[in-house]
Chains A and B, each alone.
Chain A
Amino acid sequence: MNQGLRFTRDQNRKNLASWLLTTPALLWLLIFFLIPYLIVIIYSFLTPDIYDVNFEFSLDAYRQALGADYLKTFFLSFRLAVLTTLLCVLLGFPVAYYIARAKDKLKNTLLVFIIIPFWTNLIIRIFSWRIFLAYNGVLNDILIKAGVIGAPLEIMRTDLAVILVMVYVYLPYMILPLYSVLEKLDFTLLQAAMDLGANELKAFFRITLPLAAEGIFAGSLLVFIPALGAYLIPQLVGNQKSLYLGQVITYKIKNIPRNWPMASALSLILLFGVAVLLLLLFALYKRSKARRRV
């Protein structure tokens, strides 16, 4: 009895210590992460002013955001996110597989090669594609001098350029989680399957792919979600005729006349989309995990 009491007192003291230690971060995130979203919600129901907002209730922002005007924007951003994720999986998988099956000494070196671009400043990498793809850029220069094409290709400022640079930037985000699951994969399973008569293709689809599903999920999240809100890449290599969601939101806040209620409504729709996606993926993941255990 006495011992039990001391035990709970000790637990309480530890609990209090945990609260004290986590309070600084908790308060910080409350003030600078949660409360700002409340303001976004409030602003989405107000009316715009040239520089600011008027505190008059209105549903106009939602009516417009969900209307025909922004259908193309939502479609473009969704398509960009899907294509970028798919291409990253297709390109990233063989690379991750190759690194995971390399000799131990080589592995770290190969990983560093993947990580260097990843740690290089984003804007610089986007800028380098502008030099490469521009009308008077390096690619056209080389192709014309080699006699492959007569006139410069117009790749810069197209949706193709946007997808290309998106894949370039987000590929390491796919390769690293894929690598970490493939590295743990027991390759004797593949050998066993083939000894039992499965061919390589069958072994890949029945063993490697299901076991790598976790990495594909993680990588897809890391690519798909930021791609939905991409601003910088469409802004620097895309054209102003096809505006992506991130660009529209940014313009509504930065450009005059401002429309902060509109930016807020679009942001909340994006947030809602991400939440739905996450819940769906999570449910799917749980189900596949449960099925594997059976």
Chain B
Amino acid sequence: MKRINISQFYKGFNLTAFSLVMVFLYIPILILIIFSFNDAKIITGWRGFTTKYYLQLVENDAIKEAFRNTMLIAGLSTLISTIFGILTALGMENKRFSGRRIVSALIYIPLVIPDILMGVSLALLFNFTRVNTGMLTVLIAHITFCISYTVIVIQSRLEGFDYSLVEAAMDLGAKPATIFWKIKFPLMLPGIIAAALLAFTLSIDDFIITFFTSGRGFDTLPIYVEGTIRRGTITTINSLSTLMIGFTLFLVVITKRVRKVLISSL
């Protein structure tokens, strides 16, 4: 009798904890969405409904440029780091590869070092080599921090690979190129998509490494938003944030396929 009570207590406790954490996770996001319609220029309580800050958003050239920069950097760094990821994962398939440990170390170490250190070290590299900071340096930085993730995600998908399919195709006389494009690549594709999505999200989200490697005049959205918050003009940030949350929701909820891939990539 007593045991059942404790058991129920545990279940109730976990449910309560779960609900509280949900509230904790979502209240700020809800408030942000609601207050993007607040008719106020500064952080304050509710002052009335308006959609004018969404209209200001469309007219704001700095935001539009930051958005274009973000997408350009995210697109290019995703493409390049995913290609690096595919090649490296294929190379690491060979268990007797003599460079396995070196490659593994270089892939995994960046993941266990605070981001800020990559930012600092790249800032010093570009200072030392007298490279002007801007789009190119940001792109280099983003590719650098994305590589580890793309390699690991694609590699983990290759681990469960069924080689009997390749052997069967070889026995039937298929050429290596045919085997790659007809069998291996299609089976690798979910991993490649997961890796690309992860790289894209990491790139869009990054603040600190971009902060250290972008010069004046090249803003991505996170850099623009941070600067605007610091200067205290927040009107468009609410509406911009709401749109960005909408974008995330679109990615995560609407596209079920994407959702599945995202979960399995974690």
User: In the bound complex, what is the Cα–Cα distance between A69 and B51 (angstroms)?
Assistant: 49
CB of B63 within 8 Å of the partner chain:
no
- 30 pairs, A vs B, C-beta closer than 8 Å: A15-B94, A15-B96, A18-B93, A18-B98, A22-B92, A24-B87, A25-B147, A29-B106, A32-B140, A32-B144, A35-B125, A39-B128, A43-B124, A98-B14, A99-B18, A108-B263, A115-B266, A119-B201, A121-B204, A121-B222, A121-B244, A123-B229, A124-B241, A128-B31, A128-B241, A130-B43, A136-B45, A138-B35, A141-B45, A199-B6
Of A43, A127, A274, which is within 8 A of B225 by CB? Answer: A127
The smallest beta-carbon distance between B17 and chain A, in angstroms, is: 4
CB of A125 within 8 Å of the partner chain:
yes
The smallest beta-carbon distance between B20 and chain A, in angstroms, is: 8
**Which of chain A's residues have a CB closer than 8 A to the CB of B90?**
21
**Which of chain B's residues have a CB closer than 8 A to the CB of A43?**
124, 128
Of residues 226 through 258 on chain B, the ones whose CB sits less than 8 Å from some CB of chain A are 226, 229, 234, 237-238, 241, 244-245, 248-249, 251-253
**Interface hit among A59-67, A209-217, A260-268:** A260-268
**Which of chain A's residues have a CB closer than 8 A to the CB of B58?**
none
**Which of chain A's residues have a CB closer than 8 A to the CB of B204?**
121
Given contacts A132-B28, A171-B21, A274-B112, contact A267 B244 (CB under 8 A): no
Of B28, B87, B121, B248, which is within 8 A of A25 by CB? Answer: B87
Of residues 1 through 48 on chain A, the ones whose CB sits less than 8 Å from some CB of chain B are 11, 14-15, 17-22, 24-26, 28-30, 32-37, 39-40, 43
Asked if A29 and B31 sit within 8 Å, CB to CB, the answer is no
Of B29, B46, B124, B263, chain A has the most CB atoms within 10 Å of the CB of B124
**Which of chain A's residues have a CB closer than 8 A to the CB of B143?**
28, 32
CB of A188 within 8 Å of the partner chain:
no
Asked if B92 and A18 sit within 8 Å, CB to CB, the answer is yes
The smallest beta-carbon distance between A89 and chain B, in angstroms, is: 12
**Which of chain B's residues have a CB closer than 8 A to the CB of A112?**
252-253, 259, 263
Of A21, A132, A249, which is within 8 A of B116 by CB? Answer: A249
Of A111, A120, A236, A246, which is within 8 A of B248 by CB? Answer: A120
The smallest beta-carbon distance between B49 and chain A, in angstroms, is: 16
User: In the bound complex, what is the Cα–Cα distance between A116 and B262 (angstroms)?
Assistant: 11
**Contact residues of A: prevailing secondary structure:** helix
Asked if B241 and A52 sit within 8 Å, CB to CB, the answer is no
Asked if B18 and A270 sit within 8 Å, CB to CB, the answer is no
**Which of chain A's residues have a CB closer than 8 A to the CB of B31?**
128, 131-132, 138
Of A36, A229, A236, A246, chain B has the most CB atoms within 10 Å of the CB of A36
User: In the bound complex, what is the Cα–Cα distance between A259 and B85 (angstroms)?
Assistant: 37
CB of B120 within 8 Å of the partner chain:
yes
User: Interface residues of A toward B: which range?
Assistant: 35 or more
**Which of chain B's residues have a CB closer than 8 A to the CB of A225?**
112-114
Of B99, B113, B151, which is within 8 A of A271 by CB? Answer: B113
Given contacts A18-B94, A25-B147, A112-B252, contact A131 B43 (CB under 8 A): yes
The smallest beta-carbon distance between A130 and chain B, in angstroms, is: 7
Shortest Cβ-Cβ A-B pairs, 4 listed: A229-B114, A21-B91, A36-B121, A94-B17
Nearest residue (CB) in B for A236 is B229
The smallest beta-carbon distance between B73 and chain A, in angstroms, is: 14
The smallest beta-carbon distance between A173 and chain B, in angstroms, is: 10
Of B27, B28, B100, chain A has the most CB atoms within 10 Å of the CB of B28
> Contact flags (1/0) for B79-115 with A, using CB distance below 8 Å?
0000011011011111011111011001101101111
Given contacts A18-B94, A25-B103, A94-B18, contact A37 B121 (CB under 8 A): yes
The smallest beta-carbon distance between A55 and chain B, in angstroms, is: 11
